[in-house]
Structure 1
Amino acid sequence: MIGAYMSSVPNSDALSIPEALSRAHAHWNAGQADQAEQYCQRILAAWPGQADALHLLGLMAHAYGNLDLAIAHLRQACMAPRAPAIYSSNLAEMYRQKGLLAEGEEAAQRAVVMDPSLVPGWSNLGILLQEAGKLEQSLACLERVVALTPDAPEAHNNLANTCRRLDRLDRAERHYRQALALYPNYAEAHSNLAFLLTAQGQYDQAADEARLAIELNPRLVDAYLNLADVEITRHRHGAALRALDALHAFAPQHLGGLIARAKVLKQLERTDEALELARQAVALAPYSAEAHLALALVLQAQGETDEALEQFEQAATLPGSSAEEALNGRATLLMESGRKEEAMAAFDRALEAFPGSVRVLTSRADAKTFKAGDPDVAVIEALLAEGERRSLPDLTSAHFALGKAYLDMGDAARAFSHLNTANRQKRSTFRYDSAATDRWMQGIADTFAPALFERLRRVGVPSELPVFIVGMPRSGTSLVEQILASHSQVFGAGELSALRLVIESHGPFPDLLHSMTPETAQRLGRAYLDRIEPLAHGHLRLIDKMPGNFLYAGLISLILPGARLIHCRRDPVDTCLSCYTKQFSGEQQFTYDLTELGEFYTGYQRLMDHWTRVLPSDRYIQVDYESVVDDLEGEARRLVSFLGLPWEDACLQFHTHRRVVRTASVNQVRQPIYKTSRGRWQACAEHLRPLLDALGPAAA
């Protein structure tokens, strides 16, 4: 049958099928797609189901971006009795690109059974298993590929990708470097090395590698995503969006691009835009775990708890590498929602699926109080013993978790051994100038002189909706918010970046005050209210509990003269100690060195003293954490009165309020008032000498 002849083929009266196939391939290789397709269609007219013609049509459809048609052609080609193994391998890769990982794995398995020496088959199977989260099986496949083709840079690159996902970072880097030694202009390996370097905390080098990958291959999608990832990691969201804009220019519907942009916009609190993109990603790839995870995270940020839990569950059960993050995210959201028993069960479920997960173990560490003999301590200690196999963020998180655990158990020496290492590791990942920060805060005080308030008094938007709770992190801001948010007319919005983003969009602070006009004040106030009013849901007061807004207290008084400010204070050393024990999700760069922490506190206190002198007393009050602990009802009544609201007894039962709390203090605000945190630093005094020296008289 293979020698059959056909008529009516272009430019030929009678060609054999092999000759027609040869001409089809020749036309395709010459860029003459129409002629190639005509030959294939004539072959199929003479021999329906002819595998080689179907395979070529599939490759052509894939090249032109029609993945569904490509899969249909290749699937039919593979049904032929003697279809080569490579056809099943190619079908597997197209299934992978479509996100159909189970179907792809089946096709790739079929390919290597048919031909155990087929390198592309093992490679495609290894990559499919990698994306499905079957990492040990992937490792075995890709090790076989390297053994069969030790001088192939692609083989080393693919093996490195699986090693990286297995947290064998030392081995991953070795294979990326080997791939680049074999092929220095290998854009994909440069891009993947960028992702690895981000995990190792080497952000400048990571960005350089990603940019080099883009220079080598301007249409390499992953390079743009990895550049965006490193910028997101170091909180440079504008730079991340620029990288994603460049990707969007040539791949506007790329799933990874949509997901990455949704995550950046969520960080910028542009959650409506983020939600639209995340839903678009799910619609585009309904079986993508990554898309459902992105949607869950945005819904969580919007306070849509039930739907977010559903999306976390979807992401956890779909094939892919997102299940660990999804299960951990679900448990964390349950904790934030005050459903502690369900949360602890969810953490257990996550650890059953991913034993030894640093992500899950450290999240659970924040949610509980350790006692002697807690098995998690030994597990986390063992993870640390793996050393550089693990990513720097994992190692840092593990040290923070053990620091907390040993503090809970009263072993200050071991606690500070881990806390000092954790903070040193975190501090190594960014640049911070303590002296420059101090000068900046002093410049803020100098700018907001009494004459400025006199010139711009009450020119802003007079809304009474906003209530700002400000102060140092870990100074009782979450407790005060929880007390007030238990009132029926108060909505606790948590820590919003809205004010900072509005200010940054109008110029550098405090320099923008030099040209401030009443119109500018109105514009800034209105821009902030536009961001928060949709969150209030009809409440008379909305709390913005971003502690760092203490920097902007003077500006708040100008642009929002009806706003109220509550400054939370706590013992300076207890405050700083609590900061030092936490790895913050946002930028709190001053907290990772005891001397710098003390220096920042001193500058903060000086600025707060200035605000006390210049801000109107009917819109600014101070509350001490210790006073709240000693006299909950008295302080709660004073705070409610300050908000201009009638008293409600619910404010005394704040720990039973079921609102979502997204803060480092989530566990504490779910408990009744307790006094064990007062004077906590004294048991650790010998380990705090740099802090005490920097605080000076404030520590007394």
Structure 2
Amino acid sequence: MNTQQQNLTIEQALGQANAHWNAGQADQAERLCQQVLVQWPGQTDALHLMGLMAHAYGNLDLAIDHLRRACLAPRAPAIYLSNLAEMCRQGGHLADAEIAARRAVAMDNSLVAGWNNLGIILQEAGKLEESLTCLERVVALQPDYAEAHNNLGNTLKRLGRLDEARQGYEQALALAPTYAEGLSNLSNLLNDLGQPDEALAMARRAIDANPRLSDAYINAAAVEVARDRYVEALRWVDGLLVHAPIHVGALGVRATILRRLGRLDEALADARRAVAASPDNGEAQNILGEVLQAQDKADEAMAAFDRAAASIGFAPEKALVNRGILLMEQGDRDGAKAAFDQVLAQFPRSASAWFNLADLHRFTPGDPGIATMEALIRTGGVQSHADRAALHFALGKAWMDAGDPERAFTYLAEGNRQKRATFAYDPDAIDQWIANIIAAFPAALIDRPATAVPGSDLPVFVLGMPRSGTTLIEQILASHPAIAGAGELATLQNLVHQAGGYPALASALIPENEAMLGRHYLDAVTPLAGNHRRLVDKMPSNFLFAGLIHRILPEARIIHVRRDPADTCLSCYTKLFTREQLFSYDQVELARFHRGYERLMEHWRAVLPADRFIEVHYEDVVTDIKAQARRLTDFCGLDWSPACLDFHQTARTIRTASINQARTPLYASSIGRWRAYAPYLGPLLEGLGIDAQAPVAPAAKRGKKPVVAL
């Protein structure tokens, strides 16, 4: 340090330090601040500037330390406390942030930055009404403050007041059209409102305005995830991770995408990286729990959900719902109900809790739960498109329970309409695709000698239409001591995707690559079997690949589950699926898809060998379970086990749309159930070629005794 600098007064040194900092000369600014602190340890202004510099260069912990020390002085300006609050917020120290922000506005009631920071902190802490009051004060004090309108929009969105939130974002963008954060937040809101194309366009605009804005990439990925377009979603997330390799949000979204793709080991690695980067992040803990749950590590998953439930902000609601779903999968209905009741006690507007609770609960006329859900979809209730759709399905189920099908189908029709509006679906293209599959797997290809694949007798594929009884068949088989139930595996679909277009890949099949695909499949699923001789892969949509299965796994067994078409389609139409079932949300399209499925199964029935492919009728299982269970175990090459008859008592994880029915005693009245709702199924029945006025076939009158069925 030169002599001239050493002779500066503290006031002069601070003035020059600020000038150097504003000119981008950080080294000179820091030297002058350190000179001041040598002469006056704890000098407030020098510490504050050192904190700002540390923050600018990414050293948040050092920045917070400098600011804390700066604010120890009795006369520290309110803006210093406000800046400390913001840095504590960024560091995840919300309690400390709130204390500092409240001190700031208490010192200076007109400090716009202080009220703004306090509003954001309270928002993240889940204290939304207080946050709203703060941010409304900010826009009153400074109406042309674009960031404040954006922040107000964020709080309104979290309050569920989406229309008002949109006004906040649009006001922010009217003041600053290239304001990247405002564009990104509006993208997120439009996605919630069920406008994915507009949402993606807004996210792109945000990235153009600020290519390093992390949230914009995450929001773009969220749009694609909501449309089940996982490859596109991964591109957005991977683009962000290039310049932010340990971004907690990006790692979490990537883990979620990989989980949905069935790439669980990769998903777990990303989830653990997210948690390691931010152990107190509740959302990261939720995502870790969801991946562990998918790996059937229930205890570890529950521990992660418990950590998320104890966090600050909005993760606790999701964590409590996740706990309920996990308990439901484990067969603990009472525990699951208690978990969802706990969610609703804390978060009475939780559509996810109501949706899951409705599946566990048997509603009766006058049930207060119905009135509560109906209130949530009225004006002033929940506005998220996904939440509203879920509540409509829950209300449809509730009114069916309560014996009012007209009301039930009013809600179901609207719920299906809302869901159908969120994605593109081309039934003509699906018809052509099914025709292409049939053409690609002629009898000559199926009959061609296959290369032996050691261990290919391990898998048993249970397939068919969703809601046709595939879970029932898996549960019967998995009750056998020699059979493991693996649930709905995405393994085969992933292999097909990696191998090239389907069914075009059929033309390239030769014994060598058939065997290679079979080995890849077995490498992935064999660890799931443990010491069992057979492993059930119960992905219903594998019916599309039955011919391919026989080629790559020549000793594998395929069980096609058939159920009355109208009963199957009714069950699909009344269910909001968590997996991609795009055909099921319109009665005409649903009937058309079922006809295509029947054409394909007719083909497989004709070309696949009888010792590798059988069909089981759901109705036969319901009315004579013992005979059908023996038939199934014989087909699997196993000795009979009476445990198969007590399948509903088998303790195992069940993760399908039939999760609750799998353990619930029902009656054979599930056969022909559609007839009670025929007046509301006109387009579906017409599409299926069913005359609702035709006499009931004798088979539909079988089985008056109580049974356990799906």
Partner of 1:597: 590
Preserved CA contact (<8 Å) 2:161 2:380: no
Post-superposition Cα deviations, 1:653-674, rounded to whole Å, max 9, x if no partner, equal: 1111121111111111012353
Partner of 2:53: 60
Partner of 2:448: 455
How far is 1:532 from its partner? 1.4
Partner of 1:185: 178
Partner of 2:698: none
Q: 1:331 to 1:244 in 2, by over 3 A?
A: same
Gaps of 5+ in 2: 695-710
Secondary structure in 1 matching 2:448: helix
Which of 393, 404, 407 aligns to 2:400? It is 407
How far is 1:462 from its partner? 5.2
How far is 1:538 from its partner? 2.6
Aligned counterparts of 1:558 and 1:459: Cα–Cα separation in 2? 10
Aligned counterparts of 2:497 and 2:204: Cα–Cα separation in 1? 27
Which of 96, 111, 115 aligns to 2:108? It is 115
Partner of 1:613: 606
Residues 1:639 and 2:636 are matched in the alignment? no
| 1:500-519 superposed matches below 5 A | 500-519=493-512
| 1:75-154 superposed matches below 5 A | 75-154=68-147
Aligned counterparts of 2:382 and 2:349: Cα–Cα separation in 1? 14
Preserved CA contact (<8 Å) 2:451 2:512: no
Which of 416, 419, 431 aligns to 1:426? It is 419
Secondary structure in 2 matching 1:15: coil
| 1:530-609 superposed matches below 5 A | 530-609=523-602
How far is 1:368 from its partner? 2.1
Aligned counterparts of 2:381 and 2:264: Cα–Cα separation in 1? 36
Aligned counterparts of 1:34 and 1:229: Cα–Cα separation in 2? 41
Post-superposition Cα deviations, 1:144-178, rounded to whole Å, max 9, x if no partner, equal: 11111111111110000111111100001111111
Preserved CA contact (<8 Å) 2:455 2:522: no
Residues 1:376 and 2:361 are matched in the alignment? no
Preserved CA contact (<8 Å) 1:187 1:213: yes
Preserved CA contact (<8 Å) 2:258 2:264: yes
Preserved CA contact (<8 Å) 2:450 2:511: no
Aligned counterparts of 1:389 and 1:359: Cα–Cα separation in 2? 11
Partner of 1:441: 434
Partner of 2:251: 258
Q: 1:684 to 1:13 in 2, by over 3 A?
A: closer
Preserved CA contact (<8 Å) 1:24 1:35: yes
- CA RMSD, aligned part only? 1.5
Which of 211, 214, 221 aligns to 1:221? It is 214
| 1:92-491 superposed matches below 5 A | 92-386=85-379, 390-455=383-448, 457-458=450-451, 463-491=456-484
Partner of 1:3: none
Aligned counterparts of 2:341 and 2:399: Cα–Cα separation in 1? 22
How far is 1:470 from its partner? 0.5
Q: 1:582 to 1:91 in 2, by over 3 A?
A: same
Q: Which moved more, 1:588-597 or 1:127-136?
A: 127-136
TM-score, reference length from structure 2? 0.96
Preserved CA contact (<8 Å) 1:281 1:291: yes
How far is 1:356 from its partner? 2.8
Partner of 1:665: 658
How far is 1:257 from its partner? 1.3
Post-superposition Cα deviations, 1:20-42, rounded to whole Å, max 9, x if no partner, equal: 01111122222222111111111
How far is 1:317 from its partner? 1.4
Preserved CA contact (<8 Å) 1:399 1:421: yes
Aligned counterparts of 2:492 and 2:536: Cα–Cα separation in 1? 12
How far is 1:65 from its partner? 0.9
How far is 1:523 from its partner? 2.2
Letter in 1 for 2:458: L
Aligned counterparts of 1:368 and 1:538: Cα–Cα separation in 2? 37
Preserved CA contact (<8 Å) 2:382 2:388: no
Aligned length: 693
Aligned counterparts of 1:423 and 1:682: Cα–Cα separation in 2? 20
Secondary structure in 2 matching 1:469: strand
Letter in 2 for 1:252: P
Letter in 2 for 1:512: L
Gaps of 5+ in 1: 1-7
Secondary structure in 1 matching 2:168: helix
Aligned counterparts of 2:62 and 2:289: Cα–Cα separation in 1? 32
Secondary structure in 2 matching 1:542: strand
Partner of 1:17: 10
Which of 480, 490, 504 aligns to 1:497? It is 490
Partner of 1:652: 645
How far is 1:107 from its partner? 1.2
Preserved CA contact (<8 Å) 1:100 1:287: no
Letter in 2 for 1:112: V
Preserved CA contact (<8 Å) 1:459 1:518: no
How far is 1:93 from its partner? 1.1
Aligned counterparts of 2:644 and 2:438: Cα–Cα separation in 1? 35
Letter in 2 for 1:311: A
Secondary structure in 2 matching 1:61: helix
Aligned counterparts of 1:156 and 1:529: Cα–Cα separation in 2? 55
Q: Which moved more, 1:45-54 or 1:263-272?
A: 263-272
How far is 1:455 from its partner? 3.3
How far is 1:18 from its partner? 1.3
Secondary structure in 2 matching 1:204: helix
Aligned counterparts of 2:537 and 2:474: Cα–Cα separation in 1? 9
How far is 1:379 from its partner? 0.4
Partner of 1:4: none
Aligned counterparts of 1:89 and 1:10: Cα–Cα separation in 2? 36
Secondary structure in 1 matching 2:588: helix
Aligned counterparts of 2:120 and 2:592: Cα–Cα separation in 1? 50
Counting aligned pairs with the same residue, the percent is 57
Preserved CA contact (<8 Å) 1:201 1:429: yes
Aligned counterparts of 2:368 and 2:591: Cα–Cα separation in 1? 35
Post-superposition Cα deviations, 1:183-239, rounded to whole Å, max 9, x if no partner, equal: 111111110011001101111111111111111100001101111111111111111
Secondary structure in 2 matching 1:385: coil
Q: 1:673 to 1:388 in 2, by over 3 A?
A: closer
Q: Which moved more, 1:261-270 or 1:190-199?
A: 261-270
Aligned counterparts of 1:636 and 1:454: Cα–Cα separation in 2? 29
Secondary structure in 2 matching 1:621: strand
How far is 1:9 from its partner? 6.0
Aligned counterparts of 1:213 and 1:90: Cα–Cα separation in 2? 26
Letter in 1 for 2:9: S
How far is 1:527 from its partner? 2.1
Post-superposition Cα deviations, 1:467-498, rounded to whole Å, max 9, x if no partner, equal: 11100000000111111111222111111111
Preserved CA contact (<8 Å) 1:572 1:698: no
Aligned counterparts of 1:207 and 1:461: Cα–Cα separation in 2? 47
Letter in 1 for 2:551: L
Aligned counterparts of 1:221 and 1:461: Cα–Cα separation in 2? 48
